[in-house]
Amino acid sequence: MQLLPPPTKPSPFSRNHLIRDSIGWALHAAMTEDASIHLFGEGCQVKVHYDHPEIERDFSSRCHTMPIAEDAIVNFAVGSALMGVKPVVDIISSDFLYRAMDAICNTAAKANFARPDLPITMVIRAEFLTGGPTTGQRNEALFTHIPGLNVVVPSTPRDAYGLMLTALNTPEVTLFLEDREIEDDGYFMSEDLEVGATVPLGKGLVRDMGPRGGVAVLTYGVMRQRVEEAVHEAQYQFYTSAHDRFDPDSVDCSVIDLRTLYPLDWDLIRKAADRTGALLIVEPDVAYAGVGAEIAAWAGENRVRVQRLGAPKVTVPAAKALQGDILPSKEAIIAAIRNMRNA
């Protein structure tokens, strides 16, 4: 089994080094195999220089710095895709996606409906940034409503690598959203990131499987780490209070990472509901009309106990110290698990 190289040195623009590096490795591997893949974006060559130097070294002629005009960048990329190019468009910030809404929703997303005989493969990248008045807004649920778009939000390096490879080999338009606030995780750093290992679109992953009964916690992106911490803390609290000791084998919560928000892994969601009888959905996006609301609607229709935790319908604060406060806290997650266990 061939493994990927160690992470590159931190750059001035780096966030989660492992996820950043894994996306770079995926792009490099795909560009090595497929000469039709090109990168487009504002400051593309500068970003590649710092974040993915191996791409700059081997494929600088396929890295295109574009004007600061997001709508024009996406439209240009769609035109190139119709001519056989597989564009990877870096919009940088999730907030800037709004400046490209017409191109994304009315041009890119509709391209394969308009010309099914000429399907395009296209990836649009954007990050949920933090620390400013025009960055950090969550909008993943909004794009799940647009026909013709896949929406992915990886939470680990392995998933970021595998999902990018899959997106670049799928004749569809994929919105690839990256959470800057996901911290480098020693556990996932030790994962074997195997060269060429793909992750299918529309497939979630069970990260912790509990016994029958209990609660299945569904989450994604930046909330995955907080949910796992909350679940482990809740398990410790429950079992020390009940048995005067902690039994690590007595796990009564299953943690499911959705990974792809459209298409959702309904088979896995149904299995989780059948196994536990209770779903707790924890999402970083606004709870109103979100991905969790869609799952909760299905749960209600199928008489499955369900509870949702998400962000309020407010603008993400510019102050970094306040940004984490609008996300569901560990305490809120533990309280919800306790409430569902006792129901």
Query: What's the full length of the chain, in residues?
Result: 343
Which pLDDT tens digit goes with each residue over 11-58?
433 345 678 888 999 999 999 999 999 999 988 877 786 778 889 889
The strand pair at 260-262 and 149-152 is best described as antiparallel
pTM beyond 0.75: the answer is yes
Mean pLDDT for the stretch of residues 81-88: 96
Which pLDDT tens digit goes with each residue over 252-262?
788 999 999 99
**Segment holding 268, helix H or strand E:** helix 266-276
Inter-residue contact 273 to 214 (CB < 8 Å): no
Average pLDDT of every residue of the chain = 86
Which pLDDT tens digit goes with each residue over 124-150?
999 987 766 667 788 999 999 999 999
Residue 188 has pLDDT above 60, yes or no: no
| Residue 227 CB partners (closer than 8 Å, separation 6+) | 217, 219, 255, 282, 333
CB atoms within 10 A of CB 332: 14
Query: How far is the C-alpha of 188 from the C-alpha of 179, rounded, in Å?
Result: 16
Best CA proximity match to 308, nearest among 277, 325, 285, 324: 285
Which pLDDT tens digit goes with each residue over 279-330?
999 999 999 999 999 999 999 999 999 999 999 998 888 777 787 788 999 9
Q: What angle do CA 132, 134, 135 make, to 5 degrees?
A: 65
Residue 98 has pLDDT above 90, yes or no: yes
| Beta-bridge partners for 282 | 309
| pLDDT value, residue 10 | 42
Residue 290 DSSP SS3 = coil
Q: Is 313 exposed, middle or buried (0-12, 13-18, 19+ CB in 10 A)?
A: exposed
Best CA proximity match to 5, nearest among 15, 16, 18: 18
User: What domains are defined for the chain?
Assistant: 17-189 (3.40.50.970), 205-342 (3.40.50.920)
Residue 187 has pLDDT above 60, yes or no: no
- CA dist 213 to 209, 255, 271, 278, 341, Å? 11, 13, 12, 8, 9
Residue 60 has pLDDT above 80, yes or no: yes
